[in-house]
Each structure stands twice: as C-alpha cells, then as structure tokens.
Amino acid sequence: MTLLLSEADVQSLLTMPLAIEAVEDAFRRLADGSAQFHPRQRLHLPGNSYLHYMAAADGTGGYMGMKIYTSSREGLRFLVPLFQAKTGELLALIEASYLGQMRTGAASGVATKLLARRDARTVGVVGTGFQAAAQIEAVAAVRKIERVRTFGRDPERRQSFASEMSAKLGVPVEAAASAEEAVNDADIVITSTTASKPVVEGRWLRAGMHINAIGANFPEKAELDADAVNRADVICADSREQSKLEAGDLIQAFEGDYSRWNDVKELSDLVAGRVEGRTSPGQITLFKSNGIAIEDIVTAGRVYELALQRRVGSNVRLWKPDSAS
C-alpha cells in the first residue's frame, strides 16, 4: 500500500524546527557521502507549461525519490513520490507545495545559522509572496530577530503581509516603501521574488550583512546586481554544480570567469565543518539557494514517518499482485 499525503496532511505534520533539522541532516549526509542528488532538469514546449524534475537518494534514512512539478500561468503543482531505497517500494505520494516552501526556508535557516553574525537582529525582505513567509520564519528560528522590514510592489499586499507575519511570529514586521528602505540597516537580507532583473543593488549593502538570495533559478534571471555579488566576502551555495546551471545572480556576476566558481563554498561543507564561513564580523556573506532534491527527500522521509506514527493520510493500492506469479 502507498500512503497518500495531501497538502493539509503535510501542514499538520511539518514544522519549521523539524524542517531545519531535516535539511541540516540532508547536507550533513551529502558531506559524508551517504546521500546524493541530481540537479533540476526541465522540459518546456513553447506555449506550454514547464515540467521540472529533480531526484535524490538518502542512504542514511533509507529513502529515494524525486520532486516533480509543473509551472504555468495557472500556477504550480508539486509532487514527491517517495520510495524505500532497499526494495524500491513506493511508500508515499506527497503533495509538496508546503513541503517545498518549508524546506526552502529551512535551507536559508541553516545558512543563516552558519553565516550570519550571532548578534544579527534585523531583517530586510524583498518579496511578499509564497516563499517569503517561510524565509522569515526560518531566520527567526535561528537568530533572535527584533525587527523585520519587507517590501513588495503591491502596497496593499505588503501591508497585509507585514501584519500577518507580525501576528505569526510575535516580531514587529513593517512594510517598507522601497526595496532600498527594506535593505537599509538590515543585518540579514532576504530576496524572495520572481524578478528577472536585480532588486537589490550592491551600493545598498553594508559591512556585516548576510544575504539569502532564493528567487532566481534561471541563468537569465538575477535578484542581486553584479556589484552585490562582487561585494560578498563569502559566497555559499546549496550546490555549486546546480548553481552553474541556473543561479543567474552568480552566472551573470562572474561574467564568464570560470575560476570564480572555485571560491563558491557548498553548504554541505559548512555544515560538516570542512570549510570556514564568516571569519570576521565585518564580512558580507551570501547564500545562494537554488533548492536541491536531497532537501525534499530527507524532509519527505521525516513527514512520512510522522504520518505513520500519527495515522495521518490515506492508503491507496496502485499495483495489484501479479496473479500469474
């Protein structure tokens, strides 16, 4: 039998602390070689929606699977088929919009824990959409945040978003009048947009900032201008390999100088303590998040285990026993 978990099921099980723990474990397993993943691939027929797919295997947890999703003008639809690594049994089909939102926030939470100044207290957010809420929640889980400023293009939306997040986190969240105002004086900067052109400029940055850039995952898109990337003393990515394919912020800033990729650290190495992150309070640090499949599979494994414990979800039979065998 295969367990079917709906969005509502996942929301009832997955918390941000659990997601951060799972994602940190995912990167630790990448570091020790017990996990592996394939970068995202895409299919696109002109005039039609995209099909995106990415796969991973978690040897420690005993799971393998993929996240597959479509994107179109009608929205996005996410699914994680989760298999048992040893037998190949399809354990679960998990609706994965909320799961993806939480694991993306959690990755920024892990990066912030390792790269932001310990005394970081203020956050500036550019973006008020689906992913921005989890980004703020994750940062607030790893640092004692005292104030958040957020900017989005729609004045009504940014005000309602600020009110919602203030109530959810118990932290003052203010609507900023511009992206620059949101970033100004922030200790931690988050970009969470669908923008094609930069929304944060290097001249706005100041010493000691940490940046989580999560929105641009096509080579032609960038949320940070080249100056912002070039001002970063430490650049870290969830995957250097995947960044070379789709991290437009870095691709455009490096301008074909392939040697600059050698300086991009991987989050798995930071988690494992193999490389240093921030080494002084005045450094500007940058985490470029693409979203990689091992985050989804390890997190999905935790959700599946909780669902079994709490008897959440519906069992479905997808394949009948072979009557001839």
pLDDT in tens, 224-260: 999 999 999 999 999 999 999 999 999 999 997 999 9
State the sign of the Cα–Cα–Cα–Cα dihedral 123, 251, 273, 26: positive
Which tokens is 321 given?
């026993």
CB atoms within 10 A of CB 218: 13
pLDDT at site 165: 96
pLDDT at site 322: 64
Q: How far apart are CA 201 and CA 150, in angstroms?
A: 16
Sequence-distant (≥ 6) Cβ neighbours of residue 130 within 8 angstroms = 101
pLDDT at site 256: 79
Strand order in the sheet with 314-316: 35-44, 50-58, 63-72, 75-84, 90-95, 2-5, 314-316
Q: Is 221 a catalytic residue?
A: no
Those residues of the chain that have pLDDT short of 50 are 323-325
- Of the candidates 191, 199, 121, 134, the one whose C-alpha atom is nearest the C-alpha of residue 165 is 134
* Confidence (pTM): 0.95
Please, what is the Cα angle at 157 between 221 and 16, to 5 degrees? Answer: 75
Q: How far apart are CA 44 and CA 47, in angstroms?
A: 8
3-state SS, one letter per residue, for the chain? CEEEECHHHHHHHCCHHHHHHHHHHHHHHHHHCCEEEEEEEEEECCCCCEEEEEEEEECCCCEEEEEEEEEECCEEEEEEEEEECCCCCEEEEEECHHHHHHHHHHHHHHHHHHHCCCCCCEEEEECCCHHHHHHHHHHHHHCCCCEEEEECCCHHHHHHHHHHHHHHHCCCEEECCCHHHHHCCCCEEEECCCCCCCCECHHHCCCCCEEEECCCCCCCCCCECHHHHHHCCEEEECCHHHHHHHCHHHHHHHCCCHHHHHHEEEHHHHHHCCCCCCCCCCCCEEEECCCCHHHHHHHHHHHHHHHHHHCCCEEECCCCCCCCC
Q: How far apart are CA 195 and CA 125, in angstroms?
A: 14
Q: How far apart are CA 181 and CA 147, in angstroms?
A: 13
pLDDT at site 160: 97
pLDDT at site 325: 47
Phi, psi (degrees; rounded to nearest 5) at 117: -60, 145
Whether the Cβ atoms of residue 183 and residue 86 lie closer than 8 Å to each other: no
Q: How far apart are CA 134 and CA 103, in angstroms?
A: 9
All structural domains of the chain? 2-100+293-316 (3.30.1780.10), 116-288 (3.40.50.720)
Q: What is the pLDDT of residues 71-80, one digit of tens each?
A: 998 999 999 9
